[in-house]
């Protein structure tokens, strides 16, 4: 079942989500919600979907970066982004820790800000302690693009959107990002846009 993805401006996207108990996690209603969120994320398509994005203020997100999403991306670009396929999984009540000071800047989009992207600086190396869909404790060590996805989804659970972290002069429609900026390095994009502001 495909759920409606709420868009920026809906108060649920700006609310601190509540944690789930182990009994709630294993309940039929949450198990069904996870299935529906997975289907909605895949149909969108996206690499992550947090419960607030479908109107539920719960500390729950689904993540999957399918091989088909990156099959047309060059080896050089995949290496630059440290991006590989990530199997479907669920994070519940996550606690995120940044492991070092290394960061990377890339264009980032969101299913709740449909049609827009902006450059966001994110930590490259994170650890997430959470529960999975069976209410089991899990520790995830993630680098690169996977770390970015986790940070983005966990931000949603805390009422934060990528536009709160973006370099505001880089906000663009997805069409214009593909037209004007896709073939340029992030440094070149930033140089060009910062040059316009001087």
Q: Catalytic residue positions?
A: 153
Closest CA to 1 of 43, 51, 30: 43
Count of CB atoms within 10 A of residue 9's CB? 9
- DSSP three-state, residue 47: coil
Q: Which of 179, 180, 175, 178 is nearest to 196 (CA)?
A: 180
How many CB atoms are closer than 10 A to CB 152?
23
The Cα 40–Cα 49 span in angstroms is: 8
User: DSSP letter at 58?
Assistant: B
């Amino acid at each position: 079942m495909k759920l409606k993805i709420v868009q920026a401006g809906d108060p649920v996207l700006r609310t601190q989500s509540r944690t789930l108990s182990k009994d709630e996690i294993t309940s039929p209603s949450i198990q069904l919600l996870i299935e529906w969120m997975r289907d909605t994320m895949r149909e969108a398509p996206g690499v992550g979907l947090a419960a607030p994005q479908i109107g539920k203020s719960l500390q729950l997100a689904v993540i999957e970066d399918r091989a088909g999403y990156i099959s047309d991306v060059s080896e050089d670009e995949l290496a630059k982004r440290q991006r590989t396929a990530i199997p479907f999984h669920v994070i519940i009540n996550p606690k995120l820790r940044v492991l070092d000071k290394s960061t990377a800047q890339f264009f980032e989009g969101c299913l709740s800000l449909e049609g827009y992207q902006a450059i966001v600086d994110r930590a490259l190396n994170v650890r997430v302690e959470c529960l999975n869909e069976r209410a089991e404790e899990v520790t995830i060590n993630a680098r690169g693009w996977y770390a970015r996805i986790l940070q983005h989804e966990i931000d949603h659970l805390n009422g934060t959107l990528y536009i709160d972290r973006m370099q505001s002069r880089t906000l663009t429609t997805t069409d214009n990002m593909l037209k004007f900026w896709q073939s340029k390095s992030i440094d070149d994009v930033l140089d060009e846009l910062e040059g316009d502001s001087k």
